[in-house]
Amino acid sequence: MNLGLPPMHRPRSLERELATGANPYLPARARVMRIQELVADARLFELRFSDPELARSFTWRPGQFVELSVVGVGEGPFSLPSSPTRSGVVQLAIRRAGVLTNFLFDHLREGDEVGLRGPLGHGFPVERFVDQDVLLVAGGLGMVPVRGLLQYLIDLREHFGRVILLYGSRSPEQVLFRDELETYGRRRDAEILLTVDSTNGRPWEGRVGVVTELVDDIELDVARTVAAACGPPVLYRFLLKRLAALGFGKNRIYLSLERRMECGVGKCGHCAVGYTFTCLHGPVFSYWDAINLPELIDQ
């Protein structure tokens, strides 16, 4: 089924030009349109390519990422947190971590220009989700790529079965995109189950506990369900055991695995695990593929 995206393939090298140009190292200019506080230390940056044709044509797969650069400061990989069905503006949800992200938080203002290269990597194989129930599991900042996939499934709702999101955060004030997720739940676009490690004394109607416990709160038809997850290693350790116990096939579980990256295009070797470059062959892997890369998931 053609969902309006480029055909799915597993590139073993950079076989195609990036949308941002034939030279994969050369960023395209993009202007900061809006900066919005998401939670303490995480902001949503809305960017628009300065070239109007690129702004119009730039598309991606849920789960892909871009390299954002600031001249004289640095460059870093960031997931695309919105759906390609909502193109025109490139959103990035960024947490303060170090040199580059501190600069973005402390000095970048609306109207400033940054560089973007991409889209990069291998996103979620959405064609394989058609007519299936989709179980999304996110922990912490893992909600960023999962939100892009969630929006995609909701925007093309008639092609998919149940859409269920299980999302765990440290505390209520750390829940990313909370209003948006609650709206999806109220409108029955998706089944949204939220949990926090601790309420921190704040009002909270969701569950308290780790995200993998939410799997026990839902009835799944495993034969027609695919799972897509992004979170810290500890989430994978418990989630994969739980899904295996329920009878999920390893080729029906997809994981977004992030490692330190530099070039993002399979050249520098920073992200290599054996012969696999996580920037190029990932960051999304099926569990079947990832199980052969023990360094990638802590099982």
Ligand X SMILES: Cc1cc2nc3c(=O)[nH]c(=O)nc-3n(C[C@H](O)[C@H](O)[C@H](O)COP(=O)(O)OP(=O)(O)OC[C@H]3O[C@@H](n4cnc5c(N)ncnc54)[C@H](O)[C@@H]3O)c2cc1C
Closer residue to ligand X, CB minimum distance, 172 or 264: 264
Least Cβ distance, residue 174 to ligand X (angstroms)? 13
Per-position DSSP letters for 104-134, written without gaps between them: HHHT--TT-EEEEEEEESB---GGGGTTSEE
Report CA 73 to chain centroid distance, whole Å: 24
Q: Residues 90, 153, 163, 279: which binds ligand FES (CB under 6 A)? A: 279
Which DSSP category does 174 fall into? G
- Distance (Å, whole) CA 203 – CA 243: 31
- Phi and psi torsions of 290, nearest 5°: -70, -25
Stretch that binds ligand X, among 13-21, 92-100, 111-119, 205-213 (CB under 6 A): 92-100
Stretch that binds ligand X, among 108-116, 178-186, 201-209, 252-260 (CB under 6 A): 252-260
Least Cβ distance, residue 41 to ligand FES (angstroms)? 25
Q: Which residue is nearest to ligand X (CB)?
A: 98
Least Cβ distance, residue 2 to ligand X (angstroms)? 27
Asked if 143 touches ligand X (CB under 6 A), the answer is no
- Distance (Å, whole) CA 104 – CA 82: 20
Binders of ligand FES among residues 232 to 271 (CB under 6 A) are 261-264, 266-271
- Distance (Å, whole) CA 100 – CA 118: 18
Least Cβ distance, residue 267 to ligand FES (angstroms)? 5
> Cα–Cα distances in Å, from 16 out to 20, 24, 26, 92, 166?
11, 10, 15, 23, 35
Which of the listed partners (ligand X, ligand FES, none) does 266 bind, with a CB threshold of 5 to 8 Å by partner kind? ligand FES
Residues near ligand X (CB under 6 A) are 65, 74, 76-79, 93-95, 97-101, 141, 144, 258-261, 283
